[in-house]
Amino acid sequence: MMLRAAAAGFLFALVGLGLAGCMPAHEDLRQWMAEQRRQMVPKVTPVEAPSRYIPLHYSQAAAADPFGPERLTQALRRDSGPISAGAALIAPELIRRREPLEAYPLDAMTLVGSMERGGQRVALVRVNELLYQVRAGNYLGQNYGRVTAITEGEVALREIVQDAASDWVERKAVLQLQEKTR
């Protein structure tokens, strides 16, 4: 056992000496690298001097006072005026109970079919891998979409959305039958 340990130690020492003898000094490579470092001159573009700040003159006389009496009277006149057609559209929608499919946008729904049940057409709508039965009068989507008609290939809706002037308006939307692609 002792002989084996001594032989292994001798073998390791012999390999270490052999490897140390194989390593060249590379002094010429080190000199070349040092010379290249001395010759390398970085090109730095000078930074421009900062421009002088010239403050702009601000005149409040030309601007409308957001808290002035004219703004207050405009707001009071707008709020006390007759109910607009848009407000009349949205008012009943705000007080009714929400239906489950109003939690999802229309683009998350897929119409997978329709059928007649008790003489009434029923659409089958898939949302999050669950299938729902939808009848005329039910609500779909996040824009107060009420189902107005169901045909074999689509569900027609009446949605209430805000236009560019923030007034509530009706618009038509359609959920069409989707062919299965696999």
CATH of the domain at 112: 2.30.30.830
- On whether residue 160 sits in a domain, the answer given is yes
- On whether residue 142 sits in a domain, the answer given is yes
- On whether residue 14 sits in a domain, the answer given is no
Q: Per-residue pLDDT for 37 more than 80?
A: yes
The pLDDT score that the predictor gives to residue 27 is 85
Calculate ∠ Cα 5-9-14, nearest 5°: 145
One-letter amino acid at 138 equals: N
- On whether residue 79 sits in a domain, the answer given is no
Confidence of residue 83 (pLDDT cuts 50, 70, 90): low
Rounded Cα–Cα distance for residues 82 and 60 (Å): 34
User: Average of pLDDT values for 142-170?
Assistant: 89
Q: Which residue has the higher pLDDT, 95 or 179?
A: 95
Say if pTM beats, i.e. exceeds, 0.75. no
Structural domain tally of the chain?
Answer: 1
The pLDDT score that the predictor gives to residue 21 is 58
Q: Per-residue pLDDT for 76 more than 80?
A: no
CA distances from 25 to 20, 28, 127 (A): 10, 8, 74
- On whether residue 154 sits in a domain, the answer given is yes
- What is the span of the domain harbouring residue 171? 101-176
The pLDDT score that the predictor gives to residue 174 is 93
Rounded Cα–Cα distance for residues 135 and 148 (Å): 9
Q: Which residue has the higher pLDDT, 109 or 72?
A: 109
Q: Which residue has the higher pLDDT, 35 or 76?
A: 35
- On whether residue 35 sits in a domain, the answer given is no
- On whether residue 125 sits in a domain, the answer given is yes
Q: Per-residue pLDDT for 67 more than 70?
A: yes
Q: Look up residue 143 and give its two tokens.
A: 């824009």
Which range among 66-70, 75-79, 136-140, 169-173 shows the weakest confidence by mean pLDDT?
75-79
- Alpha helix positions (H), the chain: 2-22, 27-39, 69-80, 85-95
- On whether residue 167 sits in a domain, the answer given is yes
